[in-house]
Chains A and B, each alone.
Chain A
Amino acid sequence: MIEVKNLVKTFPAQGGFLKQGEVQAVKGVSFSIPASGAVTFIGESGCGKTTIGRILTGLESYDSGEILYNGMSLADLSPTERRDRLRKVQLIQQDPYAALNPSRTVAQSLTAPLAWEAKRQRRSKTWIEDRSREVLTQVGLNPDVVLPKYPHMLSGGQRQRVVVARALTVNPDVLVADEAVSMIDVSLRLGILHLLHRLCTEEGIAVLFITHDVAAARYVGSDGSLYVIYQGEIVEQGRTEELIQSPVHPYTQSLLSAVPVLRGLERPGEDRYIPRAEFTSGDSTACRFALRCRFSQERCRTEKPLVTTWGKDHHRHTCHFPAPRRVVAEPIENERL
């Protein structure tokens, strides 16, 4: 449904006393989001995953590359057509505390976009009310309880559900969920992840899930595709479940290593590896991860790795020395003290 080819985005240099050089946030990324599919982008802060999400929702321009919505290039459309098309791609932002107007009740927050829809579709006022109840029910909230409330009266999880409900008012084809659970208590995260999964499988809405938490990706769509992004490039991609169970790129492996070990129930994987060094921009003529990689060799610092496939499932990676490693925590078999 959405196809992206060789997307490039550079943020210009900033003058003034900050003197930041230009930053290429996205360096030739290609991927596709199938209708009612779940696609996950994973990577650490600053890797460019949010920029890609913003470009897809039309909030950010791009320098080169092509974005095809149902086969039509976004760049060829007239502004009106583009707006109509992008309305079907809704962004769910990270912070449910900032995404809702604190001085509006949930009913008011939902009525505003619905009034637009009603005008476009020539619907009545009762339609607006019915529809706001419908979208709230869709996200698992009780409309009678929630509608009259202000955002501060809701928990983080409930707020995020309201944000999703608001996105649903326009019958979107695609939801771009940018770190949609990272500000929510862990105890309530799964609820939101299950909701996204349900919207995907039952309502046929495609979900682009952007996250830094590998574990969360499984719950949105374990048979969707997973893209691991490092410094604006895709370093590994495959079917979500397979990639999580058998990654071969050291960066993906360190992301998996970072999942906390439940000591007492699990022991850390033998090859667990967390790079301590901060993210530095790597060289474009070498593997960008080489500076932080435990397994890097001479070749990694001189030659840029190409996309290669691995294993039965043919998942793709860019590493000179791919190897499966045991990085995930392993359960301790009921050894009592």
Chain B
Amino acid sequence: MRAIEPRGRTDASAIRIRDLTVLYHTERGMLPALKDVNLDVRSGIITGFIGESGSGKTTLAMAMMNTIRLPGRIQRGRVEVPNVGNVLEFQGERLRRLHGQMFGFVFQASSNSLNPLKRIGSQLLDLGRSHGLTNGRQILADAKALAHRMGMDADRVLTAYQHELSGGMRQRVGIIFALILRAQVLILDEPTTALDMLSQQAVLEIVREIHVEQGLTTVIITHDMGVVAEMAQRVAVLYAGRVVEEGPTPEVLREPRHPYTRGLLHAIPRITGSLEEAQPLSGSPPDLTTVPSQGCVFRDRCPLRMPVCDRVEPETRSAHGDGVVACHGVTADD
């Protein structure tokens, strides 16, 4: 096991998300799933998006690629990718081609994203063909190399149907699909939620190694602080469609500033230490319809609630050096 040193790259090469607001059309009108999100996803490192169900973490990743579907709609904002421009201005065939070149997405349950009637290899060829790669041999050779790299029997995997593979192997196949077109940005949506701990750890280590070898920009979406702590150099904590804290993972873990982040950290079941130390987060995560429209969105579950929290939504301020936090209870940065 080796730890990866955070590589200090300049902000210029980051994916810059600015004022991103995504609305969902519901029975109760248009409700924001993301509200004024500002975030730099730095290139060359692993970034974790963490939050509970319904916090908007998947929506954020989808919006980054401009793939929000109805009933969702991107109301405003920009997503600037270096050398590409604002992704949100891309449409149709141009957008599809950009996806092929830029982004690799690994879905939460890979079994649902694979065709049950076709062998893995033939699906890979389809994918290549749809993006203008006609050299099938090359695609299969690349896929074999990747499969082998991930500790799988390459021939077996490529000739298998998805149901013949275990959960951990399917998730690895998902990664092959994401990388076969040589994506630069790898996004993994809850890559390990359906896996047991051993497969989870094996998949995470593979992701980490491939991330380094291929010089990727990686985003891991998860509700498990353990996964973020294990993998990510930076972490963005999402709550009710807002980024409430962001910064380098070790700093955020050592000194979480936002009470929500603190709650998430305390809620991890641990194998060492006293049992009383770990406490579940009180209350339930809000969904679109229960997010308060004014004031701090976290106040109902917050141990530090103050009168001001009911009226004013906290501004983001700098924390953890180059990170941010949005909470009235947090005083000036150290």
Which residues of chain A have a CB within 8 Å of any CB of chain B? 44-46, 154-158, 183, 185-191, 193-194, 212-216, 218-219, 222, 244-245, 254-265, 268, 272, 274-279, 328-329, 331
Contact = CB atoms under 8 A, between A and B. Distances in A.
Contacts of A254: 198
Contact of B3 (A219, A263, A276, A278): A263
A215 B230 CA distance: 16
Contacts of B250: 263-265
A257 B226 CA distance: 13
A159 to B, nearest CB: 10
B52 interface: yes
B271 interface: yes
Contacts of A218: 269, 271, 275
Query: What 9 A-B pairs are tightest by C-beta distance, nearest first?
Result: A264-B250, A260-B226, A212-B196, A190-B280, A191-B280, A215-B269, A155-B284, A258-B197, A260-B230
A215 B272 CA distance: 8
A44 B224 contact: no
Nearest to A181: B269
Interface of B: 1, 3, 52-53, 151-152, 166-169, 193, 195-202, 204-205, 223-227, 229-230, 249-251, 253-254, 263-264, 267-272, 275, 278-281, 284-285
B237 to A, nearest CB: 11
B275 A219 contact: yes
Contacts of A268: 1
B198 A255 contact: yes
A34 to B, nearest CB: 21
Contacts of A188: 52, 267, 280-281, 284
Contacts of B53: 155-156, 185
A331 B277 CA distance: 14
A274 B269 contact: no
B230 A274 contact: no
Contact of B269 (A213, A272, A278, A279): A213
Contacts of B249: 263-264
Given A45-B167, A194-B280, A260 B223 contact: no
Contacts, number: 139
Contacts of A264: 229, 249-251, 253-254
B269 A216 contact: yes
Contacts of B197: 44, 212-214, 255, 258-259
B223 A185 contact: yes
A157 B284 contact: yes
A274 B226 contact: no
A275 B200 CA distance: 11
Contacts of B198: 44, 212, 254-255, 258, 274-275
Nearest to A156: B53
A190 B278 contact: yes
Listed residue (A45, A219, A257) with the most chain B CB atoms within 10 angstroms of its CB: A45
Given A189-B267, A190-B279, 12 more contacts: A155-B53, A187-B280, A189-B269, A214-B271, A218-B271, A258-B200, A260-B204, A262-B229, A262-B230, A274-B201, A276-B202, A328-B272
Contacts of A258: 197-198, 200-201
A256 B201 CA distance: 11
Contacts of B193: 183
A19 to B, nearest CB: 11
A212 B151 CA distance: 22
A265 B254 CA distance: 6
Contacts of A194: 280
Nearest to B267: A187
A214 B201 CA distance: 13
A274 B285 CA distance: 33
Nearest to B285: A155
Contacts of B226: 186, 259-260, 262
A331 B229 CA distance: 13
Given A193-B269, A260-B227, A263-B253, A278 B280 contact: no
Contact of B202 (A261, A263, A274): A274
A39 to B, nearest CB: 18
A186 B225 contact: yes
Contacts of A190: 267, 269, 278-280
B299 to A, nearest CB: 17
Contacts of A216: 269
B135 to A, nearest CB: 30
Given A219-B275, A260-B229, A261-B229, A186 B201 contact: no
A45 B278 CA distance: 26
B192 to A, nearest CB: 10
A15 to B, nearest CB: 16
14 contacts: A44-B197, A46-B166, A154-B284, A186-B264, A187-B264, A188-B281, A212-B197, A244-B271, A259-B226, A260-B201, A260-B227, A261-B229, A262-B268, A264-B254
